[in-house]
Amino acid sequence: MSEKWTLIKDSTLIFRPRNSANPLVLPPIEQINSDLANFVLRRVSDAFLLNEDGVADYFNVQSVNDIALGVLDGVQYDWNVSLQTINGVVQEVEDMITVQSRYLYDKRSGDKIAKVIFSLKNLDTPIFQDLLEQSISVGKSQCVIEIIPLGFVANKRFVIKTPSSEGDIIDVEGETRTL
């Protein structure tokens, strides 16, 4: 797990959850996991579309429509306790990372081609329901996505720790006309 902490430390990839109409009411864990999966799929699709680090070539994927993200396969948690000086007072600060794994499928063949590991560290204070559910609030989080090919000869790992270069901006050129 120490490798996950190192990867997240340098990451600029940020997950921002949907805003709730009532900040005192937490969304169901299924909705949170669905939002996380959609975020991961969008970012992985961008990586394949832009062939970042040669990922599309490695998996021989011609179209992002050829890949699919599977259901949640596993979840792990890890804590890191450190001493930090806050307002001149040394305090114990506890950070937590959540690590989710899902398979990546080639829709043409239906085969699993990789394991996608999504690690996130809450930048907001987490809310705990109980030890079984762990953190039920996933707020703004620093994260990293790893794509690990399956198979005996797989020796490459793709790490996504930056936002998509496309961002949220749509650049449209042309004329506007009134209909």
Q: Tokens for 66?
A: 């050829």
Is residue 109 in a domain? yes
Is a pLDDT exceeding 60 seen at residue 94?
yes
Is residue 175 in a domain? no
Is residue 168 in a domain? no
Length of the chain as a residue count: 179
Task: Provide the whole-model pTM.
Answer: 0.80
Banded pLDDT at 179 (limits 50, 70, 90): very low
Banded pLDDT at 28 (limits 50, 70, 90): confident
Is residue 153 in a domain? yes
Is residue 166 in a domain? no
Is residue 112 in a domain? yes
Give whichever of 86-90, 110-114, 125-129, 162-166 has the largest mean pLDDT: 110-114
Q: Is-contact 166 46, C-beta < 8 A?
A: yes
- Section 116-122 average pLDDT: 93
Higher pLDDT: 151 or 51? It is: 51
- Section 7-23 average pLDDT: 81
Is a pLDDT exceeding 70 seen at residue 30?
yes
For the chain, give the mean pLDDT.
82
Banded pLDDT at 137 (limits 50, 70, 90): low
How many domains does the structure of the chain reveal?
Answer: 1
Exposure string of 9-33, with b = 16+ CB inside 10 Å and e = fewer, is eebebebebeeeeeeeeeeeeeebb
The range of the structural domain enclosing residue 86 comes to 2-19+27-160
Banded pLDDT at 25 (limits 50, 70, 90): low
Is a pLDDT exceeding 60 seen at residue 139?
yes
Banded pLDDT at 159 (limits 50, 70, 90): very high
What gap in Å lies between CA 90 and CA 151, rounded to an integer?
48
pLDDT at 166: 56
Helices (H) and strands (E) in the chain — how many of each?
A: 3, 6
Is residue 141 in a domain? yes
Is residue 170 in a domain? no
